[in-house]
Chains A and B, each alone.
Chain A
Amino acid sequence: MIKLSGFGWRHAGRKRWALRDLDLRVERGERVLLLGPSGAGKSTLLAALAGLLAADSGEREGTVDVDGRAGILFQDPETQLVMARSGDDVAFGLENLGIPPDQIWPRVDEALRRVGFPYGRDRHTAALSGGEQQRLALAGALALRPDVLLLDEPTANLDPEGADLVRGALAQALDPDSTLILVEHRVAEALPLVDRVVVLEPGGGVRADGPPEKVFTEHGDRLAAEGVWVPGHPVPPRRAVRAPGKALLCAEKVALRDRLAAVDLTVLENEALAVLGPNGAGKSTLALLLGGLLKPDNGRVRATEALAGTEAATPPHRWRARTLARRIGSVFQDPEHQFVTARVHDELAIGADPSTVDVLLGRLRLDQLAGANPYTLSGGEARRLSVATALAAAPRLLVLDEPTFGQDRRTWIELVDLLADLRDAGHGIVAVTHDRDFVQTLADRTVTL
């Protein structure tokens, strides 16, 4: 069915092989969870199986044989949909394969039904939630009747409800002889779908291969330490060591038309506050308002003297940017939005005084990457750098929007530890989040919108 012998791939312009010496056989109907620490080449392997590694984009060793057609589902729903209407999007792949027009629409309808798509074919793709878009993308892959279905962290970019939607669609859409290869670092969520686990070794080859219980008994501890969310390895909570102190920032009936209904809350020093709420409740908008980045059109955001000294009477959105960065640090959902230079070191040098740059780099494990371009960092590295940039000007208050989104276990623990340390050193922390584990491990208080 699938057979790799001595397979290796090196992306053009890279010194390191993304994959090497890989021997693997997967039979028809097997459901495989593919694991490995970040950088082990999981996504590269899926791309190879999907036939997406163009000969001129790198160097190849060994052989890959896939018997039949492969379909693939990626992480980001936004960049997988091609057409404006849902039905047209599912039809897109069928048109490409030259399926006769009279067979296209019955197959589109069948695929939409299999994934439980709740709307008609004419539904605009832009009007769908992330989870619904990902379901539609799955229908687009299934309509081509793939012999092998490849899933590259299909729920990593979704909120918990969206992820549930997609997992439900997958469970319902797979038939007994579908072959499945799934990359997913949240193991507990993947286990109901798979019967075999393959662990890739960074640098080459397969570290472990077998039924899930056996692999996790033998390799679970090491995988957890490397960043995989292995069940049965809970992270101990980090409770505050001091009682909450003075108020730093107050939101008083703060609201923004069409985006946020009136909210009251107070942020205290020595405290981590989590803001929860469903999609569309305005959590990210609230983070921008608290961060002094948007002007509320109702109510007000008031800084206290503890945060702003004599300038407490001026609302944060009217402070000069440099002053703002010294008082309130904001961490955006997409780390790349915050990068303004071409070197990791320069990113921190913008706000920090020179002596603290190296301290920050070391503390966030970025010292090896000081010369790298921020846009070339991995997801976890980029997240650490974005937090470091917000800390550079030493603000008392830190406002974070979904800081743990899509992070592996290792980066996740580092983030929680860093935020806990900051809190215990007297900072105020506000995090807008969907992540229940994050709330349980770190939050001292929650506000639900």
Chain B
Amino acid sequence: MTGLLARRNPVAKLAAALVFTLALVVTLDPLTPAIAIAIELALVPLFGLSYGTLARRAWPLLVSALGVVVTIVLFAAERGGDHLFEAGPILVTTGVLTSALGLALRVVAIALPGVLVFASTDPTDLADALVQNARAPHRFAIGALAAFRLAPLMRQEWQQLTLARRARGIDAGRNPLAALRIFASTSFALLVGAIRRGTRLAIAMDARGFDSGMTRTHARVQHFRLADAALIVATVAVAATILAISVAAGTFRPLL
């Protein structure tokens, strides 16, 4: 990965994302997430990502933000503020729109740092850094990494299982209950397969001395440098500044 921030230690990136997210969680106003999104979008090139890549990675996020807006406009109980227009029984007011947009902005602003970090970090590097720089147990970090590698197989497996059910003469037609039953039985078969694979992988890892009580060495070294510490410090400063702006503008609404 190229890009000034993409090259930072994965643990530093993760910590920075957490700090930034935390600042956004504490306030309910729309101004804070709006500033945060502007900053996040400005930083995209520094993570070595193009905006096109980001859009491909983040589209489910945009869909859920849109879902938030629609839900609130349709169902919110408080309908304060000026009346804008009426669509059948739905009264759209400035109050409704403000809270809907505010919430949608929060969803995007809170999720984006995580998207940026994971899109610009190799999973192996992340596991290495968690073990070497954050003292995460290797049983957890390497184990999760190995399991992660098996995940794409589950998709193929699901397709095979679904086709095999049709081949056996089982389909739901238009019966939702039957569809639910088939879904449950397919999920069960997927689970059995996943457990079986997981067990085999665990035995193979055992056979190569994983977690045998010896002190593990690291073939790939992850360094936590001054620049990584600086990234975290800078993130704290930026987050504090955004909150200060919100307070100064009088929009700050604490969560609790």
Which A residues contact B (CB, under 8 angstroms)? 50, 52, 71-72, 74, 76, 78-85, 88, 91-101, 104-105, 108, 125-126, 137, 140-141, 144, 288, 291, 293-294, 320-322, 324-326, 329-330, 332, 334, 336-340, 350-351, 375, 389-390, 393
- Report yes or no: B169 in contact with A98, Cβ–Cβ below 8 A: no
Q: Shortest CB–CB separation between residue B204 and chain A, in angstroms?
A: 4
CA distance A375 to B199 in the complex (A): 15
Residues of chain B lying within 8 A (CB to CB) of residue A82: 142, 145-146, 149, 201, 204-205, 208, 210
Residues of chain A lying within 8 A (CB to CB) of residue B163: 288, 293-294, 332
- Report yes or no: A80 in contact with B204, Cβ–Cβ below 8 A: yes
CA distance A96 to B218 in the complex (A): 9
- Report yes or no: A79 in contact with B200, Cβ–Cβ below 8 A: yes
Chain B, residues 205-237, CB within 8 Å of chain A (1/0): the string is 111111110111111110000000000000000
Q: Can you name the residue of chain A whose Cβ is closest to the Cβ of B171?
A: A321
Known: A82-B205, A93-B209, A337-B189. A350 touches B170 (CB 8 A): yes
B168 at the interface (CB under 8 A from A): yes
Chain B, residues 120-134, CB within 8 Å of chain A (1/0): the string is 001110000000000
Nearest 7 Cβ contacts at the A-B interface: A325-B169, A321-B171, A93-B208, A96-B209, A330-B167, A91-B219, A79-B200
CA distance A78 to B201 in the complex (A): 9
Q: Shortest CB–CB separation between residue A129 and chain B, in angstroms?
A: 15
- Report yes or no: A50 in contact with B207, Cβ–Cβ below 8 A: yes
- Report yes or no: B170 in contact with A105, Cβ–Cβ below 8 A: no
Q: Can you name the residue of chain B whose Cβ is closest to the Cβ of A79?
A: B200
Partner of B169, one of A92, A96, A294, A324: A324
Partner of A291, one of B160, B167, B205, B220: B167
B58 at the interface (CB under 8 A from A): no
Which B residues contact A (CB, under 8 angstroms)? 122-124, 142, 145-146, 149-150, 152-153, 157, 160-161, 163-171, 173, 185, 189, 192-193, 197, 200-201, 203-212, 214-221
- Report yes or no: B214 in contact with A97, Cβ–Cβ below 8 A: yes
Partner of B124, one of A78, A88, A101: A88
Partner of B123, one of A81, A84, A324: A84
Q: Shortest CB–CB separation between residue A85 and chain B, in angstroms?
A: 7
Residues of chain A lying within 8 A (CB to CB) of residue B204: 74, 79-80, 82, 137
Partner of A144, one of B142, B185, B208: B208
CA distance A141 to B215 in the complex (A): 19
- Report yes or no: B219 in contact with A105, Cβ–Cβ below 8 A: yes
- Report yes or no: A78 in contact with B168, Cβ–Cβ below 8 A: no
21 A-B pairs with CB atoms under 8 Å apart are: A52-B203, A74-B200, A74-B203, A78-B150, A78-B153, A79-B204, A81-B149, A82-B142, A82-B145, A88-B219, A92-B210, A94-B219, A96-B210, A96-B214, A97-B212, A101-B218, A144-B209, A321-B165, A322-B171, A336-B192, A389-B168
Residues of chain A lying within 8 A (CB to CB) of residue B123: 84
CA distance A410 to B152 in the complex (A): 35
Partner of B217, one of A85, A104, A137, A332: A104
Known: A95-B218, A98-B216. A79 touches B201 (CB 8 A): yes
CB contacts between A and B, total, < 8 Å: 150
Residues of chain B lying within 8 A (CB to CB) of residue A72: 207
What would 8 more interface pairs be, CB under 8 Å, given A82-B205, A84-B145, A144-B209?
A: A82-B201, A93-B209, A291-B167, A321-B165, A321-B171, A324-B169, A332-B160, A337-B189
Residues of chain A lying within 8 A (CB to CB) of residue B145: 82-84
Known: A96-B212, A337-B161. A321 touches B207 (CB 8 A): no
Interface-centre pick from B153, B164, B209 (highest chain A CB count, 10 A): B164
CA distance A322 to B170 in the complex (A): 6
CA distance A236 to B205 in the complex (A): 43
Interface-centre pick from B173, B205, B214, B217 (highest chain A CB count, 10 A): B217
Residues of chain A lying within 8 A (CB to CB) of residue B216: 95-96, 98
Partner of B166, one of A85, A125, A141, A324: A324
Q: Shortest CB–CB separation between residue A268 and chain B, in angstroms?
A: 21
- Report yes or no: A338 in contact with B164, Cβ–Cβ below 8 A: yes
Partner of A393, one of B169, B193, B209, B220: B169
- Report yes or no: A322 in contact with B160, Cβ–Cβ below 8 A: no
- Report yes or no: B164 in contact with A337, Cβ–Cβ below 8 A: yes
Q: Shortest CB–CB separation between residue B137 and chain A, in angstroms?
A: 14
CA distance A93 to B208 in the complex (A): 5
- Report yes or no: B167 in contact with A293, Cβ–Cβ below 8 A: yes
- Report yes or no: A98 in contact with B217, Cβ–Cβ below 8 A: yes
Residues of chain B lying within 8 A (CB to CB) of residue A74: 200, 203-204
CA distance A339 to B161 in the complex (A): 9
Known: A74-B200, A144-B208. A101 touches B189 (CB 8 A): no
Interface-centre pick from A74, A93, A141, A336 (highest chain B CB count, 10 A): A336
CA distance A406 to B156 in the complex (A): 21
- Report yes or no: A324 in contact with B208, Cβ–Cβ below 8 A: no
CA distance A321 to B205 in the complex (A): 42
Residues of chain B lying within 8 A (CB to CB) of residue A84: 122-124, 145, 149
CA distance A84 to B108 in the complex (A): 30
Residues of chain B lying within 8 A (CB to CB) of residue A144: 208-209
CA distance A92 to B210 in the complex (A): 8
Q: Can you name the residue of chain B whose Cβ is closest to the Cβ of A341?
A: B185
Known: A74-B200, A82-B149, A85-B124. A101 touches B171 (CB 8 A): no
Known: A293-B163, A294-B163. A99 touches B217 (CB 8 A): yes
Q: Can you name the residue of chain B whose Cβ is closest to the Cβ of A386?
A: B164
Residues of chain B lying within 8 A (CB to CB) of residue A338: 164, 167-168
Known: A78-B197, A337-B189. A351 touches B169 (CB 8 A): yes
- Report yes or no: A140 in contact with B149, Cβ–Cβ below 8 A: no
- Report yes or no: B167 in contact with A332, Cβ–Cβ below 8 A: yes
- Report yes or no: A325 in contact with B168, Cβ–Cβ below 8 A: yes
